[in-house]
Amino acid sequence: MQLRHDPVYPSRRSPVLAENMVATSQPLATQAGLTILQQGGNAVDAAIATAAALTIVEPTGNGLGSDAFCILWDGKQLHGLNASGRAPVAWSPERFPNGMVQHGWDSVTVPGAVSAWVALSERFGKLGLATVLAPAIRYAEEGFLVSPVIAALWEKGAKTLGHQPGFAETFMPGGRAPKAGERFRNPGAARTLRLIAETKGRAFYEGEIAEEIAAFAKAHGGAMTVEDLAAHEADWCGTISQKFDDVELHEIPPNGQGIAALMALGMLQHTSIRDHGPDDLTAVHLQLEAIKLAYSDMHAYVADRRFMTEVDETALLDADYLKSRAALIDPTKAQDFGPGAPKQGGTVLMSTADASGMMVSFIQSNYAGFGSGVVVPGTGVSLQNRGFGFTTKEGHQNQVAGGKRPFHTIIPGFAMKNGAPLMAYGMMGGPIQAQGHLQLLLRTQLWGQDVQVAADAPRWRMISGLDVACEPTMDANLLAGLEGLGHKITVESPDNAFGFGGAQLIHRLEDGGYVAGSDPRKDGQAAGF
């Protein structure tokens, strides 16, 4: 990666260089993380502080009822954490005769984000939850000024979900979504955050918050019980990886989509992509075809790891298999290899790093914007709709079942080089995530773009079949070339920047310190000291 910043693409931002770093999609959350670092906390403490703050200041993408995943370098080795929740025990295919439900209680699986904060704090944190949750509690109690991108998403979410149980009471003060610049308070969330800090999360899964969640579910026909919540646990799952030249991309093992980025990267090793530039027609075409192949397999096989009994990650990442898949790519034409990506989602991704060398990539999400739309009164807990990630298809490894984790779109990313940490990064935004991991890794590592340039660059998103969405900033000749190869291109409005994700990247420098970039498609900020 070059340190020279060439503003190749339109941008409002420059890369940030410092020895301690936080990059998030909302400036107040970034400041929360920096505050914790300045108080003597480490990168894990900062990640928890930003994650908690984001549940308050960016409720359009996550909440106290989110799921979460994390990859972190502790200074000596890499760790992976899966804190996604499982389906209520009472769930079965028979409960969903018309397929999985996108909103309401029947889309809610057990929320896992709080368990991630607890697990990370207990194993790697320095300051304790009471300290690191303090900024989020302050934002919830005293209020914060809503930022522009989030305000626009809030208004859209309110139109769709305003009728869901508890939503309007919490998120529509005065009967509407708050506008940019207006102050929003969430006293129920402040109460819940205090209880989480005081009980190290037990109140959320076993105590009074758990009881309120279960009682609200029962009152509205939901299946979740106190026993479902109490049974939840986060898992230290390690990572899976794929090499490309001298760089290694690490992802969380299934039930997430990270394996698709690894598969596509493994296929591209057997193509001519190294002979082309980042915005060359052939380079983009080869990435699209590799992603289509990877997503086809992902939708066919990826599920809760315990249920991947026929085809597992070892088979999907087998070198000979990936080489055989790469052989299907025709450099002269687009092909339809099978199923496409799932619908767009709502997520927050943050990266942190400290002067000791600890680096964290952390992601949490309510899935489709505000998630299920269900908000438990008096708690500020807005619940994800991850149950929509299951299928009812008989015999599928991802078929819905009680106590099972659904297929997940959210994924943290981490790059290593020669056994050393290189980049903590990722991208929010549903099906763009694995595609974005691939695009960002190649831009920074193969083509030497700095992290801010890579975040600024126009993106494409494979939808399904031959359909591809592209940003309007993409070169007209490139768009015409892709159409000439048979890709069905839709240039999406700048108003749909959300569909192209929000990247946050922190790259380690050879002489120490870091360089960070934050996606201009979000309200976010990279900052350090």
Q: Angle of helix 432-441 relative to helix 281-301, nearest 10 degrees?
A: 140
The β-bridge partners of 79 are: 72
Match 């990266």 to its residue by tokens.
351
Token duo for residue 491:
């240039």
Spatial distance between the Cα atoms of 113 and 366, rounded to a whole number of angstroms: 10
The 3-state secondary structure of 389-443 reads HCECCCCCCCECCCCCCCCECCCEEEEEECCEEEEEEEEECCCHHHHHHHHHHHH
**With contact defined as beta carbons under 8 Å apart, do 229 and 110 qualify?**
yes
Torsion of CA 57, 58, 62, 65, to 10 degrees: 30
Between the CA of residue 189 and those of 52, 177, 314, what are the distances in Å? 10, 17, 41
Question: Residue 186: enclosing H or E segment and its boundaries?
Answer: none
Contact (CB, 8 A) for 119 and 83: yes
Helix H or strand E encompassing 288: helix 281-301
Amino acid at 266: G
Q: Please tell me which residue in 109, 239, 271, 347 is annotated as part of the active site.
A: 347
Dig out the tokens for 443 from the structure: 């831009």
- Catalytic: 490? no
Residue 21 tokens read as 């770093």
By annotation, the residues acting in catalysis are: 347
